[in-house]
Amino acid sequence: MQYNIAVVKGDGIGPEIVSEAMKVLDKVGEKFGHQFNYTEVLAGGCSIDANGIPLTEETIEICKNADSVLLGAVGGPKWDEVPSEKRPEKALLGLRAALGLFVNLRPAQMHKALSDACPIKPEIIGEGFDILVCRELTGDVYFGKHYRRESEKGWGEVGADDMNYSVYEIERIGRRAFEMAMKRNKKVCSVDKANVLETSRVWRETMHRIKDEYPEVEYSDMYVDNCAMQLVRNPGQFDVIVTGNLFGDILSDEASMITGSIGMLPSASMNETGKGMYEPIHGSAPDSAGKGIANPIATILSCAMMLRYSFGLMAEADAIENAVETVLDAGHRTADIAAKGEKVLFTSEMGELIRPQLYHWQTAPQPRAAPLLLFDKGGRAASVFVAKNRIKRNKCARSQAKHLTSCLYLCQKEICGAET
């Protein structure tokens, strides 16, 4: 099967992390018999440098005609003095509008291997958390009217931004959130500021109407300031959070940081037909650009979301996620997730460790106990005995994993073992 992907590497670390993600996709194609065709286009700061504007009609048309879009990151201090209508970030807004991308899905999941990197106390984390933030993308203050005027009180110039939402926009994102919750833990928390903002009052009234369409889902309302507090106080209480563009932008970044690193989390922006633009949630990190130290995992996991949500390739998406989990479980880290004294990998080294695991991984039914294989860097295998429904690895298996470059992902993330 062939898939055409428009690639926007963008600015800063974008080219480095996207290049690693493309290599992972190529390995997926090799293993599963697919061909991914890439068309690289400019957007953001690099487009300003080349074309004088952040987003050209040519880029828009190529992205429209592609099966999906893979994006790195845009922006940086180099373009801080550019007029607001030509800033690099306008490329993102333009692509979202042109492609009709109305929902942004941002998962925030605690990887057990990275629990030490979480800034929240272990007793608060408990068994971990798995949050999905559904952020509306095409409305709110980002797409409202932006203008300046003179203060009526004689206080000088006033900046103003129009925040608004229609019932249609709220119903559309609300139903998508409920549909996602039906496939997860059946909980939806709608976040607004209805005690102050008229926009939020319309939001809440609309959500209350559509929640009755999903009686199986536990529904709650929460003010955005309380939600920001609850995310660090008790993140495990959340399943699906649905909110507007502005609040979602802020809360999804907060949710990402409590996982240990913003460099770990992917995102998917989708339209009503399932076409999407996939990108890491972090920025362009210009200070790290060109040094080869950026974490490519968020971009690689964004590719997994692309395979699952736009192409319907479930096993292929699982293979990527399992490969990443395997490498993390084996103790490999880039600078952003490394503890003091741990070896730090370069961007390309992390990609080199992940790709072989794609080829070794395969779906298989799990017996109560089964021998699985750990693969070292040279492809040599060592047998490890794994029992189902146990979480803790015994010391010998844990010690062995640290000395192997990576290990075969254990189905459904059930990890333990003793050498056989």
Task: Show which residues are catalytic.
Answer: 142, 193, 225, 249, 253
Strands 130-136 and 240-243: parallel
Rounded CA-CA distance 5/37 in Å is 6
Contact 269, 276 (CB under 8 A): yes
Which residue type, as a one-letter code, is found at position 188? V
Q: Which residue has the tokens 């068309």?
A: 39
Rounded CA-CA distance 136/142 in Å is 11
Q: Which residue has the tokens 């119903």?
A: 171
Take residue 6 and report the two structure tokens written for it. Answer: 């428009």
Give me the phi and psi of 36, to 5 degrees please.
Answer: -105, 120
Q: Which residue has the tokens 């996991």?
A: 301
Q: Which residue has the tokens 């192997």?
A: 404
Look at residue 132 and give its three-state secondary structure.
strand
Neighbours of 261 (CB within 10 A): 22
Take residue 12 and report the two structure tokens written for it. Answer: 């800063």
Contact 282, 9 (CB under 8 A): no
